[in-house]
Structures are given as structure tokens and as C-alpha cells.
């Protein structure tokens, strides 16, 4: 497609990223809307998160049958997942398959990082610059840069001084690494650390885990794909996807009960045991609806998890250290595990409490703690997390109307409308952006919903001889207040460090980064906005389009 005047633009839309979001955005906008699109990715191939996070044990924690694209019936029928929760390599193979199938790569410049995104008020275009020194002008910019793609910078000194090997879970080398016989240290026990520790414990000569805050990890319940179940799923895929989109977290679970406090202790335990055995996020999201809202309800499940941890760890002192306390279950993103707690029963694995005795620095020989103890290591794995949700957007140096930087607009935390756009940043769409359900909604579905929404908006603009969409200041203000109110009604603000609240990064404003009303309420709001002819948005025509009219 050509816009009314193409003399001053290079592409209708520039897409940033070639992960789940970028791949679908290229297909949707190029193949369905007929736009001229160009995508960039800093990686050497497609995959996004699944390209970078190749650490041992990296695995999805939403069932693969659900954590996959729903937009093409044939695609979902033809792809075969070998396990219930597939490993990184298989998800990356899937994304490469999708990229091949829809011929996505011809629209992507790989090994190219976006370094600047600048709005030109007079011309009503974005200029996107890259680390190759090139710049491109486009009417629309779509960020598929991800939510957990900018690793946190270590907040202890000396990493560069370490004489051994340093690995970051979020940017893991592509070649096979051998840990056999080596002294390996892992800092961090979030989802990445827990998955990596479970695997590294099997081969490392000695593994030292540096734990600051123990986590409520629960069994993932992985297993090879059951052919009968797969056939049933494929026969009912449409209904499954519909049910997923009606569920808070985007999963077709239906067994949640209203309150953990409304049943007897025996009944409650039966539910917890059932969900624990069945694995995945069932304990978190399909047991009792008040777990994330009521401290007393939360205590019941937190006690249950602590009890199960103690059963699995032989040494009582280690078990006590691994048992989370002082913050509610689910207020840090719950990790899912396989044999994580059993790893600590090996003679070759030590747990070090770096809350009581914090990390002072990394030295050439290893990790030194505040009391002077030094743990000597050959390899150091940093599983220290990400500058979540806002980090990937801020890293691109986005400047909107009147030369105002996104960093300035968001100095006190993200300001968005629907977690998709920001006032003063016209035609810039942030797929699964801050204050959208994003990580609290099955990501492939969250991504599809956002891309379908923005594609529909572009069609609407086109049909009405318009080409600029931007949220009003009032709509943005209300959305920010709404997302903050929703968070206040939960236990999330009670967590001492959680990337959900931005407080895992020193100096980052403590603000909720996800929409906590659940996917169905969010989808209903988006439908309402569309039905109201993009209620809360200003829709206008660029000068070129107006002149051509
Ligand atoms: O990061 P995290 P992650 N000294 O922030 C510790 C997704 N994901 O990469 O809690 C000592 O959760 C920090 O300690 P504390 C998923 O959404 C999904 O593991 O701040 N420790 C914490 O233990 C997940 O939530 C999968 O006290 C320090 C850890 O590092 C998100 O990515 C797999 C420290 C960081 O944990 C992020 O997970 C993996 C310091 N100075 C990830 N600084 C799936 O299964 C930080 N830490 C799909």
C-alpha cells in the first residue's frame, strides 16, 4: 500500500523486534493490511526472548498448547509440541517455522539495534535511527521490543574484574558450554535462576547459589505430550482459545473457587494438593480467587508452599533458608520448577544467604560478601533479572511531540493509555506496554490482541481519511489512575522487591507496571474504546494527507 504522499517517508510502519510480537506484526500489517513495513532486531535471527534466553533449563511456564499463536488455524493444527511445557530450543524452532511460513524475514533487518525514535511534528513522521548509522522515516512505529529484554545492570561492583567466565541468563552464549568439574556461582533465584540452578546442579563440579530473597517456586508438572490430549486440543482449539481469552491470565482454566477462607482447612488443602500435583500456574490462578487480594487467604497458600519445600529439602537449615517469608505469595512473579529444591540435597550444591550477608563485590577470584568471606569460582552466572516493561522502551531514546523525551514523560513511572500508547507520542504503539495486562496475560494472546487492535485502528484511520492517532491527556491520566487503583486493591505493593512494581531496579519509580484487572476486563475496555470510535484518542490527518485530500 502507498499512503497518500510517500515522498517523505520510507515505510508506512517500522516494527521494532522480531520475537512473538514482531513476527505477527510484520505478517498482519504487511500481508493483511498491505502496508510497507520494515522491522529491526538486534539479534541475528527471529525469536526475541527465546533467542536470547538460552541458559540451561530455559523453558516456558505456560502450557505450549496455549503459549503459541492463535491467529492461523492451519498453523496451530500443523505444529506439534513434544512436551507439555517446551524448552527454549523448541520454542525458537517454532518461531523460525512461523517466520518461514509467513516469509517474515524478508522484512526484517537483523543485527540492527534501534538507537533513536524521534517524532517530527511538522512532517508528522517518526525518524528511526539504528546503530548502523542509518535512519528511516515512517508514519507508524510499532514496538515489539518486549517486556523482559533489557537485563538489569549488576548493583554490586567488580564484575569486569572477574578472571573466570561471566554469563548473563538474559544474553546467554549460543555455543554449548561445559560446566562439568567447574566451580559455578549463580546470583539470583527468580524464574531464570531457578531454572538454571536445577540444570547446572546436575553437571557443575560445585554450585554456589547466592540467594537474597527466597521464592515461592512450585512444580511445573512437565511431561511428554500425550497424543490423545493433543488430538482433543487440536479438535477444540477454537473453543480453547475463546476460553483462554475469557480468563484473567489467558488460560482455559475453570476451577477457581471464590475464597480460600470460605472453605474448611481440609477442603482448602485438597484444592492446594490437587493444583500442586497438576502443576503450572494452577495453584496461583486456579485455586482461590482471593489469594492475590487478601492477606489471610494468601497466608494459607504461603504456609502450604513452605511446608512442601521443607518436605523436599533434607537439611533443615537449608530448608529454612529456602522457605520464603515476609512477603505474600504471587507478589513476586511465581517461578515454576522441576527438581529445584532437590538440587540442594546434593553434596555439590551450597546455598548462601546474601540478605544477611550481602554481596560486597565480585573479585578476580569470585564473590566477596560484606563480612569478607570470599567464594572462589570458575564461572559466574548472573540471573539478576531485567529492567522490566519500561526498560526496553526507554532504551530506544524515544522523543515525541515538542522534543519531549519518553524518559521525561515517564520520570515518575509510566504514563500510558491502555498500556499501548502515550499522550504526546502519536502513532507509536507499544505492544504489551506498561499498564497493559502483558505478563499477566498469556503473552502470545496479549500480543495478538494488541496487534489486532492497532491494525484495526489503522484501518479505521484509513477509511476516514486520517492517519494520526494519539491518546488524549485526560484519557491517559484516567488510565494511569485506574491501573494504580487496581494495584492498590491487591497485595502487590507489599512486596519488598518485585519487577512488577519496578522496585528491583535501584532508583526506578515504584509504580505498578502491569494492568491487574485481568485480560477479560482489559479486552472489554478495548472493545468499548473501539465501539466509541476510539474513545480517549484524538484522530487527525497529517499535513500531507490533508493536502492530498
Ligand atoms: O529475574 P527476577 P528473572 N544481590 O527479577 C536477585 C520471566 N521468566 O530473570 O528478589 C543479590 O525474577 C533477585 O533478588 P531479590 C518471568 O516473568 C520467565 O529470574 O531482588 N541478588 C532475584 O532473586 C520472570 O519473573 C521464565 O532479592 C540479586 C533475582 O536476582 C522474569 O522473566 C523463565 C541482586 C532476579 O529475579 C524475570 O525473571 C525465566 C543483588 N544485588 C524468566 N540483584 C519462564 O519460565 C538481583 N538479585 C517462561
Average pLDDT over residues 34-62: 98
Number of the ligand 1 atom closest to the C-alpha atom of 385 = 1
What's the pLDDT score for residue 2? 36
Give per-residue pLDDT as tens, 351-362. Answer: 999 999 999 999
Q: Phi first, then psi: what are they for 332, rounded to 5°?
A: -105, 145
Element (H, E) at 394: helix 391-394
Separation CA 324–CA 385 (nearest Å): 18
Summarize pLDDT for 93-152 with one digit per residue, the tens: 999 999 999 999 999 999 999 999 999 999 999 999 999 999 999 999 999 999 999 999
Average pLDDT, the chain: 96
Report how far apart the first and last C-alpha atoms of the chain are (Å, whole number). 17
pLDDT confidence bin for 4, thresholds 50/70/90: very low
| Neighbouring residues of 19: CB distance < 8 A, sequence distance ≥ 6 | 41, 46, 47, 48, 49, 50, 51, 95, 144, 146
- Convert the pLDDT of each residue in 419-445 to its tens digit: 999 999 999 999 999 999 999 999 999
pLDDT for the residue 209: 98
Helix or strand (DSSP H, E) at 166: strand 165-168
CB 213 within 8 A of CB 497: yes
**Mean pLDDT of all residues in 166-192:** 96
What is the model's pLDDT at position 1?
A: 38
pLDDT digits (tens, 9 = 90+) for 453-467: 999 999 999 999 999
Q: What percent of the chain has pLDDT over 90?
A: 95
Cα 350 from Cα 152, distance rounded (Å): 25
pLDDT above 50 for 7: no
Residue ID of nearest Cα to ligand 1 atom 3: 385
* Cα of 182 from ligand 1 centre, angstroms: 23
* Residue 439: partners with Cβ closer than 8 Å, 6 or more residues away: 147, 148, 333, 388, 389, 432, 500, 514
Q: Given this model, what pLDDT does residue 147 score?
A: 97
Q: How far is the CA of 383 from the centre of ligand 1 (A)?
A: 6
Q: What per-residue confidence (pLDDT) applies to 6?
A: 43
Residue 388 binned pLDDT confidence (cut-offs 50, 70, 90): very high
pLDDT tens for 320-348 read 999 999 999 999 999 999 999 999 999 99
- Residue 8 pLDDT grade (very low, low, confident, very high; cuts 50, 70, 90): confident
Ligand 1 atom 34 nearest Cα: 384
Percent helix, strand, coil in the chain, to 5, is 35, 20, 45
Mean pLDDT, residues 479-494 taken together: 95
Between 357 and 7, where is the model more confident? 357
CB-based burial, 446-478: b 16+ in 10 Å, e otherwise:
bbbbbbebbbebbeebbeeebbbbbbeeebbee
Q: Around Cβ 176, how many Cβ atoms within 10 Å? A: 5
Q: Is the model's pLDDT at 537 over the cut of 50?
A: yes
**252 vs 236: CA distance, rounded Å:** 12
Nearest CA to ligand 1 atom 7: 191
Q: How far is the CA of 157 from the centre of ligand 1 (A)?
A: 19
Atom of ligand 1 nearest to the CA of 148: 32
Mean pLDDT of 263-287: 98
Ligand 1, residues 384, 494, 507: which to mutate, most atoms within 8 A of Cβ? 384
Mean pLDDT of 223-241: 97
Instruction: Return the pLDDT at 54.
Output: 97
Residues 357 and 371 sit within 8 Å (Cβ to Cβ): yes
Closest atom of ligand 1 relative to the 504 alpha carbon: 20
Specify the ligand 1 atom closest to the Cα of 58.
33
Rounded average pLDDT over 168-173: 97
CA distance 173 to 397: 27
Which residues have CB under 6 Å of ligand 1?
59-61, 148, 155-156, 169, 187-193, 195, 210, 212-213, 333, 354, 359, 383-386, 439, 497, 499, 504
Q: How far is CA 250 from CA 157, 209, 444, 534, 545, in A?
A: 40, 33, 9, 24, 39
Dist. CA 207 → ligand 1 center (Å) = 18
Is residue 413 over pLDDT 50?
yes
Tell me: pLDDT of 374 over 50.
yes
- Please state the pTM of the whole predicted model: 0.97
Work out whether strand 366-369 and strand 374-376 pair parallel, antiparallel, or are unpaired.
antiparallel
Instruction: Indicate which residue's Cα is closest to atom 15 of ligand 1.
Output: 213
- Which residues pair with residue 362 across a beta bridge? 367
Average pLDDT score over residue span 379-399 = 98
Look at residue 547 in the predicted model and tell me its pLDDT: 79
- What is the rounded average pLDDT of the residues 508-519? 95
- Measured in Å, residue 440 CA sits from the centre of ligand 1 at 16
Amino acid at each position: 500500500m502507498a499512503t497518500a504522499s510517500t515522498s517523505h517517508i520510507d515505510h508506512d510502519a517500522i516494527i521494532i523486534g522480531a520475537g512473538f510480537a514482531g513476527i505477527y506484526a510484520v505478517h498482519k500489517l504487511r500481508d493483511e493490511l498491505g502496508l510497507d513495513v520494515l522491522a529491526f532486531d538486534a539479534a541475528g535471527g527471529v525469536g526475541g526472548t527465546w533467542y536470547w534466553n538460552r541458559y540451561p533449563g530455559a523453558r516456558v511456564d505456560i502450557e505450549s498448547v496455549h503459549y503459541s499463536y492463535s491467529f492461523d488455524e492451519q498453523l496451530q493444527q500443523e505444529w506439534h509440541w513434544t512436551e507439555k511445557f517446551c524448552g527454549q530450543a523448541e520454542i525458537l524452532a517454532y518461531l523460525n517455522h512461523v517466520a518461514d511460513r509467513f516469509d517474515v524475514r524478508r522484512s526484517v533487518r537483523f543485527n540492527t539495534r534501534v538507537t533513536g525514535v524521534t517524532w517530527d511534528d511538522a512532517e508528522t513522521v517518526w525518524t528511526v535511527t539504528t546503530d548502523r548509522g542509518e535512519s528511516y522515516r515512517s508514519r507508524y512505529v510499532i514496538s515489539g521490543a518486549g517486556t523482559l529484554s533489557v537485563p538489569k545492570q549488576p548493583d554490586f561492583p567488580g564484575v569486569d574484574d572477574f578472571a573466570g567466565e561471566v554469563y548473563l541468563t538474559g544474553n546467554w552464549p549460543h555455543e554449548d558450554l561445559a560446566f562439568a568439574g567447574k566451580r559455578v556461582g549463580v546470583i539470583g533465584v527468580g524464574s531464570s535462576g531457578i531454572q538454571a540452578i536445577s540444570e547446572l546442579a546436575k553437571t557443575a563440579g560445585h554450585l554456589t547459589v547466592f540467594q537474597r530473597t527466597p521464592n515461592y517456586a512450585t512444580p511445573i508438572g512437565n511431561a511428554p505430550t500425550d497424543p490423545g490430549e493433543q488430538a482433543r486440543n487440536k479438535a477444540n482449539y477454537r473453543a480453547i482459545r475463546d476460553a483462554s481469552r475469557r480468563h484473567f491470565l489467558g488460560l482455559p482454566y475453570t476451577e477457581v473457587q471464590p475464597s480460600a477462607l470460605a472453605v474448611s482447612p481440609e477442603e482448602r488443602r485438597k484444592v492446594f494438593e490437587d493444583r500442586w500435583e497438576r502443576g503450572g500456574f494452577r495453584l496461583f490462578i486456579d485455586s482461590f480467587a482471593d489469594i492475590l487480594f487478601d492477606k489471610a487467604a494468601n497466608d494459607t497458600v504461603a504456609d502450604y508452599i513452605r511446608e512442601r519445600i521443607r518436605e523436599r529439602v533434607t537439611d533443615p537449615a537449608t530448608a529454612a533458608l529456602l522457605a520464603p517469608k515476609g512477603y505474600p505469595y504471587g507478589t513476586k512473579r511465581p517461578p515454576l520448577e522441576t527438581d529445584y529444591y532437590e538440587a540442594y540435597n546434593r553434596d555439590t550444591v551450597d546455598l548462601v544467604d546474601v540478605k544477611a550477608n550481602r554481596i560486597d563485590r565480585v573479585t578476580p577470584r569470585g564473590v566477596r560478601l560484606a563480612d569478607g568471606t570470599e567464594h572462589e569460582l570458575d564461572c559466574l552466572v548472573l540471573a539478576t533479572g531485567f529492567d522490566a516493561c519500561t526498560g526496553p522502551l526507554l532504551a530506544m531514546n524515544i522523543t515525541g511531540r515538542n522534543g519531549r523525551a519518553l524518559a521525561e514523560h515517564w520520570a515518575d513511572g509510566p504514563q500510558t493509555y491502555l498500556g499501548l500508547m502515550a499522550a504526546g507520542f502519536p502513532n507509536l504503539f507499544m505492544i504489551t506496554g506498561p499498564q497493559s495486562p502483558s505478563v499477566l496475560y498469556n503473552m502470545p494472546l496479549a500480543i495478538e490482541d494488541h496487534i489486532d487492535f492497532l491494525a484495526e485502528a489503522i484501518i479505521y484511520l484509513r477509511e476516514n481519511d486520517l492517519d494520526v492517532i494519539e491518546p488524549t491527556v485526560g484519557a491517559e491520566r484516567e488510565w494511569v489512575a485506574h491501573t494504580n487503583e487496581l494495584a492498590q486493591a491487591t497485595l502487590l505493593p507489599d512486596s519488598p522487591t518485585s519487577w512488577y512494581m519496578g522496585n528491583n531496579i535501584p532508583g526506578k519509580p515504584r509504580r505498578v507496571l502491569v494492568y491487574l484487572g485481568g485480560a477479560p476486563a482489559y479486552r472489554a475496555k478495548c472493545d468499548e474504546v473501539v465501539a466509541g470510535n476510539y474513545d480517549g484518542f484524538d484522530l487527525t490527518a497529517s499535513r500531507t494527507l490533508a493536502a492530498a485530500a
